[in-house]
Amino acid sequence: MDEHLLSSETELENNLETNLKEGLTNQEVEVKQEKFGKNELPQGKVTPWYIIFLKTLVEPILLVLMGAAVISIVAPIISNKGKIELSEFIDAIVIFSIVLIDAILETVQTIKARKSMDALKSLSKPKAVVIRNDMQQEIDASELVPGDIVVLEAGKYVPAELRIIESSDLTIDESILTGESLPVEKTHLPLKEITTILAEMKNVAFMSTFTTSGRAIGVVTKIGENTEIGKIAKSINENEEESTPLEKKLNSFTYWISGLSFILAILIFSTLFFSGDQKAWANYLMVAITLAIGVIPECLAAVVSITLSISTKKMVKQNVIIKKLQAVETLGNVNFICTDKTGTLTQNKMTVKKMIMDNKIITSKEYAKEKNDKHMDLFLKALVLCNDSVTEGNERIGDPTELALVDYAEIIGYDEQDSRDIWKRIDEMPFDSERKMMTTVNTIDGINTAFTKGAIDQLLQRCSKIMVDNVLRDITEEDKKQLLEMSNELSKDALRVLAFAYHLDYDKLTDKDDLEHDLVFLGAVAMIDPVRETAVNAVQLAHDAGIEVVMITGDHAITALAIARDLDLAHSEYEVMSSEDLNRLDDNQLLRVIEQIKVFARVNPEHKVRIVDALKQKGNIVSMTGDGVNDAPSLSKADIGVAMGITGTDVAKQASDIILTDDNFETIIKGVNEGRNVYQKIKRAIAFVIGVNLANVLAIFILSVINSVSPLEATNILWMNLIVESIIALSMGMGANDPTLMKIKPIKGKNSLFKGLGYTFVKVIIFTTIASIGAYYFGMMFVTSDDLIRIIGNDSFGSNWHAALRSKDLTVEQKIEIGDFGRTAMFIAITCAPCFYANFIKLSNWKSDKKINLIVNKQLWLASMMAILLNIIVVFIPGFNEKILNLASIQSYSMNNWYLIPGALGISIIPVMFMLLMDGITFGVYHYRPDPWRRNRILTQELVELDIQKEKQKRKSKKKVNH
């Protein structure tokens, strides 16, 4: 139905089955509630906790871990020909424990984020004043039905979609739907033409919009999901949730590591089988599967979840609520932030910035310092008396421009409520769109004085006198021309100009229409919703971090460009695109220019979605901020949707990935910083875990080929992977953030999880492998001929342990016992060496500065020392060392081999020494001995940055002169 076109009360009553005077009866309400249901916005399906938990368990990386746990049970059974011992289940128990811990952590975090979001709902139980049974009463808004008669007053939310049937000076803030920052005047008169443009439906009040001034009565036409806000909420609920970039990368990594482990298992088994005793195939299979499992980072899933969880807790303290763990990393990779203007970049509070006073432009700060004379007294009285807004504590009711006037007057010492109590209003002419003026009459010192405010061009036509320098004189045409020129100058800077006048002849008037004639011009104010001071700095930080900021607003292009200039976002009209220009471009044309536009003005909701989609098609990771219902589709479409927690609607919060509890653009940049650090910590953990695992597998593979027997047992590898690596990798995510990461430009498009890790992998794999093999041979030096005779029963090999290991006449058990000393030394090397160099695996922006940026991770140092101590302790625990880890027993140590453990520890320090040496050489060459090509590039970059700084300084100086 097109209720906005119906002209008579009878048509409205028939269509909506109601009585516009008396309202609905209780019986009619009951019938309609059964037919239409509750007046509530559609909610997204709430996934039960157990479904979240089960979904977490079927994530690829956890499935691989569970497969590994099953294999760790099956392989020993095959190796032992069906005999099962309790010790065989240790590996599986540990792996399953890690899987459960990770699933529980992610489930708990998801539920906590959901609870935080529920707590942020601004309208948990909105009320509505209705006329039912010919009586006015207040009810829950959810109980409204079509046909209900609703009373609207200033300061109240619109509880449903209404056709206005009576109105008085009604203005409604529809910014959550249209993006318009200024309130819209509403009327009860029917429209002449059908329209689908919300901003043109002047006799309709939309659900969840805010009544800023006036009073009205409306009849409910639509409720719940049938309202405009409800339609958008429903469409958001129907959207399918996309995987975040981190989820995609981790899934890809899981498939890659699974394939690698499978290939390694076949390769190692084949090598051992064909180079050793074929009868021991079951043992070789066990070794191959164990080493393949060793490649898989069992602790990685827990590392990722715990690192993300720690960061989300940090971000809550910084006013950021993360609804989904992986969204933190995605925020760190963002290279385009599309942001709303009002309330995010600006204060969402109109403020008096400049004045036209005494025929000149001055700043509001300068005027506030002037002496309070007769002229100022009359002007300030005009600000507060010709005004209907009310401020009391945190409550602010009224038009934003009127609120700005009383705020400014209060700075100088005029309180609007005290003023109105002292100087009573006795008459008024309300504002209307045709006159563009408002007049009130107040009694001041026994004289009835009229104050008028309005558009300066209209007001000047009614003025016959002007007050300049505290002197009253006739106004000239030259005065009017000069005042209009000053007004136009201020308007070019997107300032809204409002003029004020007065006269003292109210008692002499015979016709009220003459109230706004023969006025005395007092002056004018120029207002704007100013930028947040923090937003200016935040935009600069974003640019330094290589992030483009795009402002999307429903305001006019001139206003938007003026704000963009203050924010250093855009400086020319060529960087601004209006909705009309956007509509003229097809998708291919938009793609060609999308990355050059910094401001989009007068946009509709569908435009926002189109802008985000075009940026994503260009390979960008896009964040969209918003608070209104009109922002919800684009919030859902963006890689990261950021909703405002204070002014944001429930629909916007529901569509978003992140919620800002302080509605501040600067907080987004803090989130980006945290996201980049999270991603870096995760990559660092991956570099450490995968590098160490591959080094261990490579060392074992080489020694197995040389000696025809594995130098380490499965329990040695699992101790390393599940105990040592877990302790260190988890503590990597607990360190302080690296501020230099905000100086790196994000890589556009898709990039691998391993990008930038090649150099680290090479260092870790080469030096750890060499140290491990070296430690093994160091340990085997202590094997004597007496040891071989004791194990073999004869002296056929003398002291040649290598020949004994290669022999096909010895059993696997005998060869394992021969290798006790080598295994012990190698165990110390593979478990302790990573503890020494874990603190020096740096992926920070070392190329950006010649100064070395040292970030001490106390938790990591503590974890490393604890892991080293733990490794040494287990070597000397009777029973555990020889029965479970197959290391040398305590009884085997003597005065001849006491330095086996200290020597192995010394070898484990060698990798970190070589790594630091290589890092020092690389750092020095990069900064102090650059190649000719890079030297020229550095010089060019320095010149470009110098030019940019000069241009910025020039713009700042120009702005200061204009002010």
Mean pLDDT on 775-786: 91
Could you tell me the residue ranges of all domains in the chain? 3-36+145-222, 243-313+672-928, 321-347+532-671, 351-528, 934-963
Residue pair 735/306 in contact by the 8 Å Cβ criterion: no
Residue pair 486/361 in contact by the 8 Å Cβ criterion: yes
In this model, does residue 918 exceed pLDDT 50? yes
Q: How far apart are CA 845 and CA 668, in angstroms?
A: 21
Phi-psi region of 82 (alpha: psi -120 to 50; beta: other; left: phi over 0): left
What token pair was written down for 738? 């690296």
Q: Which fold has domain 3-36+145-222?
A: 2.70.150
In this model, does residue 631 exceed pLDDT 70? yes
Helix (H, G, I), strand (E, B) or coil at 307: helix
Pick from 828, 847, 840: nearest CA to 763: 840
In this model, does residue 955 exceed pLDDT 70? no
pLDDT at res. 867: 92
| Per-residue pLDDT tens over the stretch 321-359 | 887 766 777 888 899 999 888 777 888 788 999 999 999
pLDDT at res. 773: 95
pLDDT at res. 124: 40
What token pair was written down for 849? 């500065």
Pick from 726, 723, 733, 727: nearest CA to 683: 733
**Within 13 A of 68's CA, how many CA atoms are on the CB side?**
37
Least confident of 375-389, 413-427, 664-678, 737-751: 737-751
Check 91, 102, 148, 340 and give the catalytic one. 340
Q: What angle do CA 845, 721, 273 make, to 5 degrees?
A: 120
Least confident of 276-285, 300-309, 647-656, 888-897: 276-285
What token pair was written down for 176? 């959550």
Residue pair 29/132 in contact by the 8 Å Cβ criterion: yes
What token pair was written down for 673? 């910083």
Residue pair 144/207 in contact by the 8 Å Cβ criterion: no
Q: Measuring CA to CA, how many Å separate 85 from each of 188, 598, 861?
A: 85, 68, 37
Between 817 and 954, residue with greater pLDDT: 817
pLDDT at res. 660: 86
Mean pLDDT on 833-844: 82
DSSP state of 31: H
Residue pair 873/740 in contact by the 8 Å Cβ criterion: no
Taking all residues of the chain, what is their mean pLDDT, rounded to a whole number? Answer: 82
In this model, does residue 43 exceed pLDDT 70? no
Mean pLDDT on 28-45: 82
Q: How far apart are CA 687 and CA 358, in angstroms?
A: 70
Query: Which pLDDT band, with edges at 50, 70 and 90, does 81 fall under?
Result: low
Q: Measuring CA to CA, how many Å separate 948 from each of 574, 576, 587, 659, 934?
A: 19, 21, 33, 34, 21
Taking each helix axis from N to C end, the angle separating 533-544 and 665-707, rounded to the nearest 10 degrees, works out to: 30
Between 696 and 125, residue with greater pLDDT: 696
pLDDT at res. 525: 96
Residue pair 705/848 in contact by the 8 Å Cβ criterion: no
Strand partners, 162: 205, 220
Residue pair 433/214 in contact by the 8 Å Cβ criterion: no
CB atoms within 10 A of CB 249: 23
Q: Measuring CA to CA, how many Å separate 260 from each of 267, 687, 886?
A: 10, 16, 28
Q: Measuring CA to CA, how many Å separate 94 from each of 61, 90, 526?
A: 16, 6, 69
Q: How far apart are CA 649 and CA 174, in angstroms?
A: 12
Instruction: Indicate the pairing of strand 658-660 with strand 640-644.
Output: parallel
Sign of CA dihedral 557, 559, 562, 565: negative
Q: How far apart are CA 769 and CA 948, in angstroms?
A: 49
Q: Convert 494-556 into a string of H (helix), E (strand) and C (coil).
A: CCEEEEEEEECCHHHCCCHHHHHCCEEEEEEEEEECCECHHHHHHHHHHHHCCCEEEEECCCC
Q: Measuring CA to CA, how many Å separate 391 from each of 183, 385, 431, 916?
A: 18, 14, 20, 64
Query: Which pLDDT band, with edges at 50, 70 and 90, does 577 fall under?
Result: very high
Q: Is 341 exposed, middle or buried (0-12, 13-18, 19+ CB in 10 A)?
A: buried
Q: Measuring CA to CA, how many Å separate 442 from each of 472, 695, 891?
A: 21, 88, 106
| Per-residue pLDDT tens over the stretch 800-834 | 888 888 887 887 778 888 889 999 999 999 999 99
For residue 511, indicate whether it is catalytic. Answer: no
Q: Is 559 exposed, middle or buried (0-12, 13-18, 19+ CB in 10 A)?
A: buried
Between 460 and 157, residue with greater pLDDT: 460
Residue ranges of E strands in 261-417: 320-322, 336-340, 351-357, 360-363, 390-392, 395-397
Q: Measuring CA to CA, how many Å separate 704 from each of 270, 707, 806, 820?
A: 11, 5, 10, 15
Mean pLDDT on 451-470: 93
Chain-centroid distance, C-alpha 238: 22
257 CB contacts (<8 Å, ≥6 apart)? Answer: 64, 295, 296, 297, 690
In this model, does residue 881 exceed pLDDT 70? yes
Mean pLDDT on 201-217: 85
Query: Which pLDDT band, with edges at 50, 70 and 90, does 79 fall under?
Result: low
Least confident of 9-18, 504-513, 797-806: 504-513
Least confident of 100-104, 429-433, 746-750: 746-750
Query: Which pLDDT band, with edges at 50, 70 and 90, does 188 fall under?
Result: confident
In this model, does residue 375 exceed pLDDT 90? yes
DSSP string, 816-876: HHHTHHHHHHHHHHHHHHHHHHGGG---S-TTS-SS------HHHHHHHHHHHHHHHHHHT
Instruction: Confirm or reject CATH 3.40.1260.20 for domain 321-347+532-671, answering yes or no.
Output: no
Residue pair 207/170 in contact by the 8 Å Cβ criterion: no
CB atoms within 10 A of CB 675: 27
- Locus of tokens 């007046």: 39
| Per-residue pLDDT tens over the stretch 923-943 | 788 777 777 776 777 677 777
Q: How far apart are CA 202 and CA 164, in angstroms?
A: 9
Between 105 and 169, residue with greater pLDDT: 169
CATH of 243-313+672-928 among 1.20.58.2030, 3.40.50.12160, 1.20.1110.10, 3.90.170.10: 1.20.1110.10
pLDDT at res. 120: 43
Q: How far apart are CA 704 and CA 706, in angstroms?
A: 5
Residue pair 432/455 in contact by the 8 Å Cβ criterion: no
Query: Which pLDDT band, with edges at 50, 70 and 90, does 515 fall under?
Result: confident
Query: Which pLDDT band, with edges at 50, 70 and 90, does 780 fall under?
Result: very high
pTM comes to 0.70
> Where is mean pLDDT largest: 510-514, 681-685, 855-859, 863-867?
863-867
Pick from 98, 642, 1, 637: nearest CA to 321: 642
DSSP string, 247-293: HHHHHHHHHHHHHHHHHHHHHHHHHHHHHS-GGGHHHHHHHHHHHHH
Q: Is 7 exposed, middle or buried (0-12, 13-18, 19+ CB in 10 A)?
A: exposed
DSSP state of 712: S
pLDDT at res. 293: 67
Mean pLDDT on 550-555: 85
Q: What architecture is domain 351-528?
A: 3-Layer(aba) Sandwich (3.40)
Pick from 526, 529, 472: nearest CA to 499: 526
Q: How far apart are CA 652 and CA 208, in angstroms?
A: 12
